[in-house]
Amino acid sequence: MTADTHSQRRLLRPTSKVLPEHARAHNRSMVLQQLFHSGEQSRADLARATGLTRVTVSDLVASLLAEGLVTELELRAEGKVGKPGTPIGLRADAFQIVAVDLADDERMHGAVLDLSGKVRERRSAAVAGRTGQAAVDALLGLCRDLVAAATCPVLGVGVGSPGVVDPAGTVVQAPNRGWYDVALAADLGDALGLPVHVANDANTAALGEFTYGGAGGGGLLVLTVGGGVGAGIVLDGALVQGHEHAAGELGHVTAVDERDDIDGAPLGRPQQCACGRSGCLETVLSVPAIRRRIEGLAPEARDAALASVGRRLGIVLAPVVSALNLSEVVVSGPRELLDGPLRSAALAALRERTMPVISRDLDLRMTSLGEDGALSGAAVLVLSGQLGVS
């Protein structure tokens, strides 16, 4: 396994010791991870939870106190014999994170969040049809506005972008934005003077669900539906990126051809996709495509049309769920379109096409994070990249 491959598959939440040359950063992440997810703990509690020695934990805590990332809290009377250890807590207000979601074709959405994921400020900017360098410039302007709105030091900037994004934050291709081999993280970082982390928008949504959305311990797929369609996958505690960093590009799986007739409701001639091919799932399931399909329909016909799209989604998802034995599929997008007939039909089609042991307990649900899922995930990019926390 190469170093690059290993970095792509690294566990999002480190739980064990590593080689000496990487030990301090890894152990620091373990302590921060414990405080992030379990709340305030004494140094002794941290040592027990992480398996590190008390001396190591004390040294790490001293460093984190000096950085302002943690604080010592007041002792609590617990009725135990002996002097209780001083609780250590993560300072959620020590730094702020700028997060930007580019999934919407019409507006770029951004926010300033604290380390707990709470949104403190919001900003947005119109896309106005801009592509290429003009779109990069508009994104930079939004990021500058958000950094200026922060009320304490900015830890970094996280961006969820459409398209294929490599681990260095270069957008390999995002046809809807006219971006090809755009070094987005490096360019924004140079202009802002801050660490910038960029990932595929569906991957950021998966990170948000994994960290803040109450996802279970099994395999997770987050399907994002907006101007396009994508998927982010977390498997065995690691974000799946794939050989060419394009894992989860379900939106460009051919899902419709001229022979298709779903539930007696023909989908019509396959539509041209932004990728240059025809009949991609995105041409059926994207928000603009769904709205065109149901426009002017009576309620009963509208539900039938949504169900036909949901059935097609279930057919596409079935081999993915079966191959990876996923436990959760989370859908992120407009609830009024995706919940109800569409989601129900997708689950029914998926169960028809997979073994009961695979799909019997599968949870196919809407995201619990609402419209902030991608922003939360973009914040996790920074938490993970800068602090090793997710």
Q: Is the pLDDT of residue 157 over 90?
A: yes
Within-domain flag for 11: no
Task: Give the integer Cα–Cα distance in Å for 108 and 177.
Answer: 12
Q: Are strands 229-235 and 238-239 parallel, antiparallel or unpaired?
A: antiparallel
Residue 51 and residue 138 share a domain: no
Range of lowest pLDDT (17-26, 182-191, 366-375): 17-26
Q: 254: which strand partners?
A: 280
Domain containing residue 70: CATH number:
1.10.10.10
Q: Is the pLDDT of residue 77 over 60?
A: no
Mean predicted confidence (pLDDT) in 242-266: 71
* CB neighbourhood size of 42 (10 A): 18
Within-domain flag for 113: yes
Mean predicted confidence (pLDDT) in 119-135: 93
Residue 233 and residue 137 share a domain: no
3-state secondary structure of 254: strand
Residue 220 and residue 356 share a domain: yes
Residue 272 has a pLDDT of 77
Within-domain flag for 291: yes
Domain containing residue 158: CATH number:
3.30.420.40
Residue 190 and residue 61 share a domain: no
Q: What's the number of domains the chain is made of?
A: 3
Residue 170 and residue 120 share a domain: yes
Q: Are 124 and 107 in contact (CB under 8 A)?
A: yes
Q: Is the pLDDT of residue 368 over 80?
A: yes
Within-domain flag for 339: yes
Residue 237 and residue 171 share a domain: no
Q: Is the pLDDT of residue 133 over 80?
A: yes
Residue 118 and residue 175 share a domain: yes
Within-domain flag for 27: yes
Question: What percent of the chain has a predicted confidence (pLDDT) above 70?
Answer: 88
Q: Is the pLDDT of residue 215 over 50?
A: yes
Tokens of 171: 């957008």
Determine if residue 176 is left, alpha or beta; phi over 0 gives left, psi from -120 to 50 gives alpha, anything else beta. alpha
Residue 8 has a pLDDT of 41
Residue 247 and residue 324 share a domain: yes
Give residue 112's pLDDT band: very low, low, confident or very high (50, 70, 90).
Answer: very high
pLDDT tens for each residue of 297-332: 999 999 999 999 999 999 999 999 999 999 999 999
Range of lowest pLDDT (16-30, 91-105, 153-167, 215-229): 16-30
Report residue 29: phi and psi, to 5°.
-65, -40
Instruction: Print burial letters for 131-140: b (CB count within 10 Å at least 16), e (below 16).
Output: eeeebbebbe
Q: Is the pLDDT of residue 78 over 70?
A: no
Q: Is the pLDDT of residue 378 over 90?
A: yes
Residue 9 has a pLDDT of 46
Last residue of a domain, one of 90, 118, 135: 90
If one compares 163 and 313, the residue with the highest pLDDT of the two is: 313
Task: Give the integer Cα–Cα distance in Å for 21 and 143.
Answer: 35
Residue 195 and residue 62 share a domain: no
Last residue of a domain, one of 70, 90, 110: 90
Within-domain flag for 65: yes
Domain carrying residue 308: 215-367
Residue 267 has a pLDDT of 55
Give residue 360's pLDDT band: very low, low, confident or very high (50, 70, 90).
Answer: confident
Last residue of a domain, one of 68, 90, 112: 90
Task: Give the integer Cα–Cα distance in Å for 52 and 62.
Answer: 15
Residue 265 and residue 144 share a domain: no
Residue 158 and residue 64 share a domain: no
Within-domain flag for 2: no
Q: Is the pLDDT of residue 268 over 70?
A: no
Q: Is the pLDDT of residue 346 over 60?
A: yes
> Which positions ≥6 away from 336 have C-beta within 8 Å?
none
Residue 278 has a pLDDT of 76
Within-domain flag for 279: yes
Residue 359 and residue 235 share a domain: yes
Instruction: Give the DSSP H or E segment for 37.
Output: helix 20-38
